Structure 1
Amino acid sequence: MKPLTVRQVTWRALRARRRDLARLGGWSLVEAFPALLAGLLVARAVDDGFLAGRLVDGLAWLGVLAVAVLVGAAATGRTYRSLGAVVEPFRDEVAAQVVRGALRDATRAGGRPDSAAMTRLTHQMEIVRDTFAGLLMVTRGFLFSAGAALLGLLALAPVAAALAAAPLVAGLVVFLAALPAMVTHQRAYVRAGERLGQSAATALAGHRDVLACGAQARVASEVEQRVSAQAAAERTLARMAVIRSLSLGIGGWSPLVVLLVAAPWLVDRGMTAGAILGALIYVSTGLQPALHTLVQGLGGGGLRYAVTLENILRVYPHLPPSAGETPGPRPSTGPVGGLPAAEVRGLTFRYGPNARSVLRNFSLTLADGEHLAVVGPSGAGKSTLAALLAGLVPPQEGTVQLAGTPVADAAPAVLARLRVLLPQEAYVFTGTLADNLRYLRPDADDDTLEVALDALGARPLATRLGGLDAPVVPALLSAGERQLVAAVRAWLAPAPLVLLDEATCHLDPAREATVEAAFARRPGSLVVIAHRISSALRAGRVLVLDGDVPVEGTHEQLLDRSATYRALVGCWDEPMTPSRTVERQG
């Protein structure tokens, strides 16, 4: 997929919210009434009222202008409400992509947390949100206010409109010609700030090592260089304000000078004093403020928006579909037409370019409805295989498909519908028990939750907590209780494939047997990273990973074919306590 540009992302966000933009434009049109009528009404008040000796008429025309101003002020409040409907969803989309990208980079093979991601998510994200809103406001303000002023000026005196428009266009040309250089300097400023954040985060994270090695001066010097570079970039950016002032002088103040100088000539051509005053009002209260707002907005916030969003897209190039857009076709979320639940072909994975391969040219097919146990010594790649099947890490070679869908190309939402992974460290959040259980299936009613609690033997825990509506405090639960809550949550998930990565290691053997039996009865397929012999005995097929060639078969077959499996069974059987005896028989 080709990375999106700032222009494409902005256009897509605006196009997806056409209705909200239309509402914003409608209120902006009402807001522009004072700019459209100001000069005409002042000209009437002067020529037909005050200069004609009719004070009441003059005041009446000014009263009409006051009413127009009040209507415009009321519309201004509405424009800000409409603006939020456009800006906030866009901000949420970009923030979600930053979070997804940072998590993906931190959890991929060889990846590590990026300290600059926090800068992008906080400082840079707020810049994008605020400047996107400002960009919309100044652009629509210039279009409607300057357009209304020019229309009013044209209706009042076409010659005066031509005299005012010429320097206005010249000022815009000067500003637009300088925009590329402004973008370059703004980009340098953003990059300098990001490098400063990375340097400072690295220095703070390793401060003990810095002190131990006596490298305080060197590290402080490196951070100081980053500070100086950012300060220099900011000073250069500030100097670009001269160009903005020049364009404002040409486009904003020159029309006033031109009209004042040309006033005698305009009077000779028949313009009245009221018309000249009205023309000056159009320029001073309409064209000049609109141009000033546009230049300051584009030259300040507009540049920050373009460069900051460009920087985010450089790191996280693909944004999710905007709200209101129709996403592309989605893969099937379950086995279709006899497709296997999971299919692995030629898989090779290592944790670094020079590391030993954890899995090498590995292939596996998991049929729909099959129950597979994965065993092996510590470090053999069991959890790595679970992560690869779940699509959390990409292999260096080979492919992984779930129900015919390649996990490498599947969006996170699609993967969530295809599989559920339950790791050893169970996550339970503060909230009610029902909230925790519905996390992967929000539409589940209370009866469904009750059935799940009974199926996995979690009824005593739910009773002790006080029922579905009882608050859950994770710190007050044992490791086994947290695993049980997470297991019920995973059992309720609609995904057809369940991956249990030592997810029941803190449960007693009897409770573990109940949980695994419930998952085995559940429609779909089950992969269990086994840590007890009973888990392997309950599975229809067992896969042994031992750092060499993987071996698979039933429990009895592997006792004959795999020395590693026999060794594991021996370790599991010793010491042979009564509980172990019961476990072996189960």
Structure 2
Amino acid sequence: MFRTAPGWGLLFQELATTRRSLVRLLAWSGVEALPPLVSGLFVSAAVDQGFLAGRPGVGLAWLGGFGVAMALRAYAARAGFPHLAGVVEPLRDSLVERVVRSALARPSADPAEVARLTEQVESARQLTATLLRTLRGVGVTLIAALVGLALLAPAVLPLVLLPLLAAGVLFVRLLRPMVARRRAVVLAEERLAAEAGRALRGLRDVQASGTGQEVALALAEAARESAAASRALGRASALRALVVALGGRLPVLAVLAAAPWLLAHDALTAGELLGVATYLLQQLDPAVRTLAGTVGGWLLNLAVVLDRLAAVTAPEPRRPSAAEPSDAPAGEVRLAGVRYAHGAGATPVLDGLDAVFRAGEHVAVVGVSGAGKSTLAGLLAGVAAPTAGAVVVGGGAHVALLPQEAYVFPGPVRENLAWLAPEATDRRLAEAVEHLGADELVARLGGLGGALRDPGELSAGERQLLALVRTYVSAAPVVVLDEATCHLDAAAEERVERAFAARPGTLVVIAHRISSALRAERVLLLDGGRGMLARHGDLQVLSPLYRELVGRWLGSTPRNPAPNSAPPNKPNNTTSNGPKPHGPTPPGTTGLAS
């Protein structure tokens, strides 16, 4: 059942690299099996050959032999720990490497998701170590007890094996639904955490659009799903008590019921009956309770964690580039059946999105928190690949993405501004600084020849202004501003957007103010994974959701901006790709993606 699951396949693949440690651990486990094997035999001999025969010294000698076996078991348990570490520590290191490689292969990976995966790797290590440590004790105890029972009293073996086999069948039958329900619990908890994280990250949108009630309802629904999944798991787990009753308690009752007949027909001696009781009460029953209870719970958790790690860290099938070139005009962007989900089994953020941004067009993207606006920005820039469908950029044009958190680095002001256009002249940089309203800031820093000693001395808005200038002078015919003006006031934001709108090329603005949508030529409304692309006035007629967003946006704005019915005049988009910037793109800043 489990061997075919990807999670268990991942575990066995990793454990295969530690065969030497596993073999040594198994060898010491054989030594640990000695006391369970001889316990009933030695008790029987001590009673029949010692105490009942009037030779207490012989009886004490047999019990002393059992004490020696227990001492050997304690030594074997201690000696096996280094080999246990030799199994689980490489497992942890290998799984961490898989998670890191997976995150590096997915630049858009959510840091919270990576943190959860790292925690799950540690859970996998601890669960594997605990299961190996417990199973080698419980497993050898169970096997040794049955072997000893067969050697001591074969007549009672059917009374023990039949209920034990029934318990084993029931346990295996229960594992599949319990694993499924445990997986549902984990996924529900992750969905709840993801919803809460999106709500916190999009708090600005929530407040601006007045959608707090909708967000609260979504969080409440995720919490109810998590609670329902936990209750379902609890009901399924309660059935494990039947396993304990069948495999641990029923054999004891069966032997007790048959004991008078067995003693009367000389099938058992008094010592052998005590030896059988030792096997059942001291070895078999505790082993069954541990397997069905503790180990069963750990096994469920490990199965779910392994499946999650296998699904998330599996190499993705090779897909076309997220921003494929085409014969369309440079700067035109086509979204064809775009589907994107953050992980295997996750609800798609975008599902079947179709849209066309014309070359040189100014488009605003709006939607409630969690609608997929930032996800779309990453797909447009090529830092994420769609799960299905394609994002096609005409002429193989570069796409410049400027995220909310702008990156500037210590060093000359000119190098900061010309990072994506090293060939830009001082005149070109100065014009960009003036157009975007960053002249006072640059002058305070000492002009283009000045130096930025500590970026932390700048406010978030000032860092955004420098990054915006850097993007403005780049050669990218497509620019995506993902809330890149959120730290600017409304007037500064308007000046920046109008400057970019007048710049040759296509502009996509992830809007966090209604004024951004009013300035755009067309607005893309994201809702339920799909999109509706139209002019602002048309959307107000076509979409109740958009009317509601606009009403709440305007209602939460102290002074409503005047709509700009006519988009700014823009020159024809005649620029080429231009030279690519030299050197790597700093993390968290504007980047050019083909």
For normalisation by structure 2, the TM-score amounts to: 0.54
Structure 2 counterpart of 1:283, one-letter code = L
Matched, 1:79 2:80: yes
The 3 A distance-change label for structure 1 pair 272 and 300 is same
Secondary structure of 1:53 counterpart? coil
Matched, 1:52 2:32: no
Distance in 2, Cα, partners of 1:10 & 1:278: 39
State the Cα deviation string for residues 371-413 of structure 1 (Å, max 9, x = none).
xxxxxxxxxxxxx9xx99xx99899789xxxxxxxxxxxxxxx
Residue equivalent to 1:36: 37
The answer (yes or no) to whether the contact 1:146–1:290 under 8 Å persists in 2 is yes
The 3 A distance-change label for structure 1 pair 162 and 350 is farther
Secondary structure of 2:239 counterpart? helix
Distance in 2, Cα, partners of 1:264 & 1:11: 49
Distance in 1, Cα, partners of 2:203 & 2:408: 32
Secondary structure of 2:40 counterpart? helix
Moved over 4 A (4+): 344-352, 354-358, 391-398, 424-427, 500-505, 544-548
Cα distance, 1:351 vs structure 2: 8.1
Q: Which runs of 5+ in 1 are unaligned?
A: 320-343, 359-383, 399-423, 428-477, 484-499, 506-543, 549-562, 569-586
State the Cα deviation string for residues 109-142 of structure 1 (Å, max 9, x = none).
xxx63643332222x3333222222333344334
The answer (yes or no) to whether the contact 1:39–1:277 under 8 Å persists in 2 is yes
The answer (yes or no) to whether the contact 2:163–2:250 under 8 Å persists in 1 is yes
Structure 1 counterpart of 2:18, one-letter code = R
Distance in 1, Cα, partners of 2:274 & 2:575: 97
Residue equivalent to 1:290: 287
The 3 A distance-change label for structure 1 pair 153 and 101 is same
Residue equivalent to 1:21: 22
Distance in 1, Cα, partners of 2:25 & 2:224: 43
Matched, 1:217 2:213: yes
The 3 A distance-change label for structure 1 pair 69 and 210 is same
Secondary structure of 1:299 counterpart? helix
The answer (yes or no) to whether the contact 2:96–2:118 under 8 Å persists in 1 is yes
Residue equivalent to 2:170: 174
Matches within 5 A, 1:156-235: 156-235=152-231
Residue equivalent to 1:306: 303
Matched, 1:238 2:234: yes
State the Cα deviation string for residues 117-171 of structure 1 (Å, max 9, x = none).
332222x333322222233334433431111111111111111233212211111
The answer (yes or no) to whether the contact 1:142–1:294 under 8 Å persists in 2 is yes
For normalisation by structure 1, the TM-score amounts to: 0.55
The 3 A distance-change label for structure 1 pair 61 and 200 is same
The answer (yes or no) to whether the contact 1:105–1:113 under 8 Å persists in 2 is no
Cα distance, 1:79 vs structure 2: 2.9
Secondary structure of 1:52 counterpart? coil
Cα distance, 1:173 vs structure 2: 1.0
Q: Count how many residue pairs are aligned between Structure 1 and Structure 2.
A: 373
Distance in 1, Cα, partners of 2:334 & 2:56: 87
The answer (yes or no) to whether the contact 2:29–2:137 under 8 Å persists in 1 is yes
State the Cα deviation string for residues 312-367 of structure 1 (Å, max 9, x = none).
32233249xxxxxxxxxxxxxxxxxxxxxxxx999999987357799xxxxxxxxx
Structure 1 counterpart of 2:144, one-letter code = A
Structure 2 counterpart of 1:11, one-letter code = F
Percent of matched pairs sharing the same residue: 35
The 3 A distance-change label for structure 1 pair 351 and 145 is farther
Distance in 1, Cα, partners of 2:135 & 2:148: 20
The 3 A distance-change label for structure 1 pair 185 and 345 is closer
The answer (yes or no) to whether the contact 1:43–1:274 under 8 Å persists in 2 is yes
The answer (yes or no) to whether the contact 2:14–2:94 under 8 Å persists in 1 is no
Secondary structure of 1:182 counterpart? helix
Q: Which runs of 5+ in 2 are unaligned?
A: 317-323, 336-354, 360-377, 394-405, 425-474, 479-503, 505-573, 580-594
Structure 2 counterpart of 1:59, one-letter code = L
CA-atom RMSD, angstroms?
Answer: 4.4
The 3 A distance-change label for structure 1 pair 202 and 393 is closer
Secondary structure of 1:161 counterpart? helix
Residue equivalent to 2:443: none
The 3 A distance-change label for structure 1 pair 156 and 501 is farther
The answer (yes or no) to whether the contact 1:425–1:503 under 8 Å persists in 2 is no
Match of 1:263 among 259, 263, 273: 259
The answer (yes or no) to whether the contact 2:334–2:392 under 8 Å persists in 1 is no
